[in-house]
Amino acid sequence: MIIQPKSRGFICTTAHPLGCAVQVQEQINYVKSHPQLSGPKNVLVVGASTGYGLASRIVSAFGANANTIGVYFDKAAEGARTASAGWYNSAAFETAAAEAGLKSYSIVGDAFSNEIKAKTIDLIKSELGKIDLVVYSVASPRRVHPDTGEVFSSVIKPLGEVYTNKTVNFHTGEVTEVAIEPATEDELRQTIAVMGGEDWQMWIDALQAADALTADATTVAYNYIGPSITHAVYRDGTIGAAKNHLLETAHNLNDQLKSTGGRAFISVNKALVTQSSSAIPVVPLYISALYKLMKEQGTHEGCIEQIYRLFTERLYIDGATPVDEDGQIRIDDLEMNPELQAEVAKIWEALTTENVYDLTDLEGYRDEFFGLFGFGVEGINYELDSEPNVDIHNLK
Ligand code: NAD
């Protein structure tokens, strides 16, 4: 099959197996070219196939020689449809892990369900014994509650009042004003149910009840804070409220785990181009402005650099993990540098359709967006036939 990108808004409905594989290998190479870390040995990553979760799995496996279980919701190829990018990423990861002699397993299914939790725990018990690091990196638009069957949908909306700001169509470069109506009480409740901490808590409770966690296990979930430009739609909006719930959950989990030497953290990460962040209005334009400056200043990082730093400079160091006044790990420190943010704010004021390619790295944004699906990767001839059916080694 000749596989080309087919995009609709912030969704690309095709993915390229070879392009995805090359990029996974690049992340592995990055980790292997840096000092090894001693830390996790048996790692569970929930939301492991793309973005921050995939990077967490790669750093665990290739940075610390850890055995890993990845849980994710991706689709295999079927008929004229390619598999999803996360499927191809995971296939490449599993092959590389097997070649490196690491134990690694994939579970594809709904992480919010009781079935997938039970299946994962059975696998842990039979293959790994106990887990000492649980990374929770699920980003999803909906969740079916495992006990009540209620279907929750998350929305990305401000709270209280209409929010108006600039946004960009990153395919065309058109900069427009977007006005987003505030969320209703019910939309807020549902967003917290999807992106808050309830499911993370359920995972840890289930793992603990099954005696599948080491006494000193660590767990971490990810958050974003970002600058004031995005606050109304992110930090102070529905997603921010869900993330506050995630932070409360981290504190609860820390209390739950600490008596035996365990730990729970939130890590606040940098804004990066992922399938989830491209869906948030305003954010792609902000990221484009940010990237232009960070690339010029040599401080730009992707998911793999961020997570390598999280593991080596925060989670697995001698002594206590440094946290901010809310108890959160900050690896968004380079993004949030005040001088840098002042420069971003200046660019933001001036931004129009006419100057967007000069003032921001919108082209880089678009390249990274298609890169998420394995397109635009150097050395790959996209005119050639590719086999869309790719098996995942050790799919359980
Ligand atoms: P992503 O879209 O790249 O990855 C989401 C992962 O969740 C995928 O592996 C997907 O398969 C999995 N998933 C989704 N629904 C699932 C389900 N029902 N069952 C099992 N797996 C499921 O997202 P990302 O941007 O890497 O986000 C991961 C976390 O990092 C989120 O908590 C997000 O808020 C946070 N974060 C993201 C950014 C950013 O800019 N992208 C910045 C800081 C923090």
CATH of the domain at 320: 3.40.50.720
- Is residue 212 domain-resident? yes
- Is residue 350 domain-resident? no
- Is residue 120 domain-resident? yes
- Is residue 388 domain-resident? no
CA 358 to ligand 1 center in whole angstroms: 31
**Cα separation of the two ends of the chain:** 27
Mean pLDDT of 140-153: 97
- Is residue 385 domain-resident? no
- Is residue 157 domain-resident? no
pLDDT at position 279 over 90: no
CA 348 to ligand 1 center in whole angstroms: 27
- Is residue 376 domain-resident? no
Alpha helices in the chain (DSSP H): 17-32, 51-58, 64, 85-99, 114-123, 185-195, 198-209, 228-231, 238-258, 283-297, 303-310, 338-350, 356-359, 362-371
- Is residue 358 domain-resident? no
* Residue 234: active-site member: yes
Q: Are 14 and 373 in contact (CB under 8 A)?
A: yes
CB of 47 shorter than 6 A to ligand 1: yes
Mutate to test the pocket of ligand 1, among 152, 222, 243, 307 (most ligand atoms within 8 A of CB): 222
Q: What are the b/e assignments for 362-379, b being 16+ CB within 10 Å?
A: bebbbebbbbbbbbbbee
CB of 73 shorter than 6 A to ligand 1: yes
CA 203 to ligand 1 center in whole angstroms: 16
Distance CA 189, CA 158 (A): 13
Share of the chain above pLDDT 90, in %: 93
Distance CA 90, CA 84 (A): 10
Pick the range with the lowest mean pLDDT from 58-62, 99-103, 274-278. 274-278
Amino acid letter, 377: V
219 forms bridges with which residues in the sheet?
134, 264
Pick the range with the lowest mean pLDDT from 116-120, 273-277, 315-319. 273-277
Our count of domains for the chain comes to 1
CB of 284 shorter than 6 A to ligand 1: no
Q: Are 237 and 228 in contact (CB under 8 A)?
A: no
Q: Which domain holds residue 129?
A: 7-142+187-276+300-334
Mean pLDDT of 76-100: 97
| Mean residue pLDDT across the chain | 96
Pick the range with the lowest mean pLDDT from 172-176, 198-202, 276-280, 325-329. 276-280
- pLDDT score, position 156: 92
- DSSP code, position 160: S
CB of 223 shorter than 6 A to ligand 1: yes
Q: Are 162 and 178 in contact (CB under 8 A)?
A: no
Select which of 88, 234, 286, 308 is catalytic. Answer: 234
CA 85 to ligand 1 center in whole angstroms: 13
Model confidence at 263, pLDDT cuts 50, 70, 90, reads very high
- pLDDT score, position 278: 87
